Amino acid sequence: MFTIEPVHKPKMTETLLMMLAIIALISISIIKWGAVPHIPILFSIFLLLLFGAVKRVSFKELESGMLAGAQSGLGAVFLFFMIGILISSWMVGGTIPTLMFLGFELVTPKFFYSIAFLITSIVGIAVGSSLTTAATIGVALIGVGEALGVSLPLTAGAIVSGAFFGDKMSPLSDTTNLASAIVKVDLFEHIKNMSWTTIPAFILTFIIFLFLSPSEMSSNLTELITIKDGLEKTNLIHWYSLLPVILLIFLTIRKFSSFITLALSSCVAILISFFHDQMNIRNLFSVLFNGYQSDTGLKAVDSLLTRGGVNSMMFTIALVLLSLALGGLLFKLGIIPVLFEKVSHRLKKVKTVIIATVTSAIGINVLIGEQYLSILLTGEAFQDQYRKVGLHPKNLSRALEDGGTVINPLVPWSVCGIFLTDVLGVPTLSYLPFAFFCILSPLLTILFGITGWTITRIDSTAKEIK
């Protein structure tokens, strides 16, 4: 959005008042009244249009700002369509159920917290949704933890850590796709670059949970065994169902585009689905649009497997377009440029830019409680600054995820914080100290930004240098 030329330069007091009004409108609507973010964002757009009218900015100019903002997210929109198809095709092809089943094979009463973290990480990558993982496998693990008499805050911390590791590193995740698309970095290049901070955070978290886990205890794994049996009854668990994953990894290594990689992997999963009795052409079109519908009769299994489809991505697509339109107006009316004029003189070094990115994403999470906005607004605001200090955009997309995606579950009034407290039955502030992965991720990004480790620069000829 740094290509959007401002048509107005507001005073600093006006800028701060408008930003505070928007933050208050969105945060109060979401936190106090439980509104979905779309409506308060739309109201914020109306507020900015009114401000523009008062300042005698033509509606045509304001409209061009909204359209330019929304247009910048079209790449993400097309990827979201492919993600919806990929998830549904991986469901009917048995890829996701097979990955889940293999994860359950690891369950043991020994070292419970570390195993819970590992299981939710695997399922999170397979499903691509932290909240779905927590609401299904997470709930089952909480039940096991209660039966074993272990600490529920620690168990919830392990679940949240694993779920958000999976969400962050999964090509199926909407936040991962959003962060890469908003700064125009290839999806798999983004995931690869995130591994520099994410893998150390994962290893450290696993070691901590391994140390905290009891080494011996009696077991009652009834709930997990029930889910595992339910997965087997779907007739979707097959070794060949892993072929789409193998193809995806191969195409990623060969540096195919994200769109082609997701499309080819989906096609292979669709072909595999015809080896299963319940699939035919008529059902296939319905599944690809509306998602896979599981009817095993087991609530935990059905809620875990019923997902995917183009239709499932419409909520996210609408939110992205509205948020980007809001961002376009903020740039068009000069509100964000004025704010950056005040701080840009302090953002002349790599470390200060990265620290500012992470803290801004965290700040939006805390103030507004919305995960997508922390990625969208921060990503759009800092793109120009990364170019000025010679940083590759993938540094920005990594900082957005480390400061945006994984922080939202740690905020008690955020969308993720409220949801997780509700489904897990553990207050946000109780599991927060034990969500080690979510705490370590931004700290490692800041550390690497200060030291320069794994930071990719671009020289004057636009070639990448380390």
Residues 269-319: pLDDT tens digits? 999 998 876 678 888 999 999 999 888 888 878 877 888 899 988 888 888
Global pTM?
Answer: 0.76
What is the rounded distance in angstroms from the CA atom of residue 195 to the CA atom of residue 185?
Answer: 15
Q: Which amino acid is at 384?
A: D
pLDDT at 441 (0 to 100): 96
In the chain the first and final C-alpha atoms are separated, in Å, by 27
Taking the mean position of all CA atoms in its chain, how far away is CA 411? 15
The model's pLDDT over 95-150, given as tens digits with 9 standing for 90+, comes to 888 887 887 777 666 788 998 999 899 888 987 888 878 876 787 788 677 767 78
33 pLDDT band, cuts 50/70/90, is confident
What is the rounded distance in angstroms from the CA atom of residue 126 to the CA atom of residue 136?
Answer: 13
Which range of 29-43, 256-270, 432-446, 451-465 scores highest in mean pLDDT? It is 432-446
Residues in the chain: 466
pLDDT higher than 50, residue 463: no
What is the rounded distance in angstroms from the CA atom of residue 27 to the CA atom of residue 32?
Answer: 8
The model's pLDDT over 54-110, given as tens digits with 9 standing for 90+, comes to 999 999 999 999 998 888 778 778 878 888 898 899 889 998 888 878 877 776 667
Place of tokens 């990719």: 456
pLDDT at 109 (0 to 100): 66
Do 57 and 5 meet the contact criterion of CB atoms below 8 Å apart?
Answer: no
What is the rounded distance in angstroms from the CA atom of residue 407 to the CA atom of residue 431?
Answer: 13
